[in-house]
Amino acid sequence: MIKILGRATSANVQKVLWLCEEEGIEYEHDNEIGGAFGRNDTKEYLLMNPNGKVPTIIDDGFVMWESNSAIRYMARKFKSELYPPDLRARNLVERWMDWELSVLAPHQGVVMVGIVRTLPEDRDDEKIEISRLAWINGMKILDAQLGKTRFVAGEKFSLADIPLGPIAHRFFSLDIERPELSNLRNWYKRLADRPAVKKWVLIEMA
């Protein structure tokens, strides 16, 4: 059975929980690690994950970290149709997954931490604003893609949509100024109808 270590309010933990729920993969979840729970800086945890971040995923003694890498592993192991076998189709999926990490996640993280986890008097407003604008620029790229295809990597829901879903939820839920990107909004609404998203993504942000 897959073991998932990490608080469910983490976007990276949500990716793994979402995939498991979507594909009916059996899992155990220790929610009380990371954030206000702590425990991710203990010697025991750091031996598994030297980054001290969440999630850490364990499959029959095999330890994984880096959420996108982990969900690719799980999709291969459980032969998920969300990860297409065709070489070019798979490349499209992986391209958007890597893009999420390199383009969106860093800026989303700065805004999220700055607004949700930092007291107003301690915020670096200039830093938050720079990341807000960069985040919007990235979401405009995603919006343009979603004007061409129903889902991120094509006409069918795939593994590419999972890393981007939690970021979209934060984009539309945080109290920030943003453009009304209709393609992005419609895709987000389609995702929000999925039971796994309702259970693990459309939850309190912390």
E strand or H helix that includes residue 4: strand 2-5
CA triplet 85, 90, 95: central angle to 5 degrees?
Answer: 170
pLDDT at residue 206 in the model: 78
Domains and CATH numbers, the chain: 2-77 (3.40.30.10), 87-199 (1.20.1050.10)
At 171-183, the pLDDT tens digits run: 999 999 999 999 9
Mean pLDDT across the stretch 149-160? Answer: 98
Q: Using an 8 Å Cβ cutoff, are 111 and 128 in contact?
A: yes
CA gap 188, 153 in Å, rounded: 14
At 24-47, the pLDDT tens digits run: 999 999 999 999 999 999 999 999
Residue (of 171, 164, 66) closest to 111 by Cα position: 171
